[in-house]
């Protein structure tokens, strides 16, 4: 069976006034991810045009196992905790492609 790409996707509602600090912490997280043995292909952080405190991040990983390895790395809770501490709401998750439209 062919390995399918898995994705991480997270909603981040940042505390008022912490937007710039959050972006810097997310950069640190992405640098950390890129130095893992099986890093993601890319990472993207988007911010809402209507609500400057609302962000989503997402990125493809080689497999679900790569995401599980990332989450089991001892530094992951610390790195994710830095982001979560700057947020009123943080909802990271793991996803797979269900359908792609042309």
Whether the full predicted model's pTM is greater than 0.85, yes or no, is: yes
pLDDT (0 to 100) of residue 39: 92
The rounded radius of gyration (Å) of the Cα atoms in the chain is 14
Domain ranges of the chain: 6-94
In this prediction, residue 3 carries a pLDDT of 61
CATH code: domain 6-94 is 3.30.70.100
CB 94 within 8 A of CB 8: yes
How does pLDDT run across 41-74, given as a tens digit for each residue?
A: 899 999 999 999 999 999 999 999 999 999 999 9
Spatial contact of 7 and 94, defined as CB atoms under 8 Å apart: yes
């Amino acid at each position: 069976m062919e390995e399918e790409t898995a994705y991480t996707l997270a909603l981040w509602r940042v505390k008022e006034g912490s937007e710039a600090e959050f972006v810097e912490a997310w950069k640190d997280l992405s640098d950390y991810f890129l130095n893992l043995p099986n890093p993601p292909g890319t990472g993207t952080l988007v911010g809402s045009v209507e609500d400057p405190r609302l962000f989503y991040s997402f990125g493809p990983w080689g497999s679900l196992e790569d995401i599980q390895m990332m989450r089991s790395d001892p530094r992951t809770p610390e790195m994710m905790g830095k982001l979560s501490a700057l947020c009123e709401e943080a909802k990271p998750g793991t996803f797979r492609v269900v359908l792609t439209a042309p």
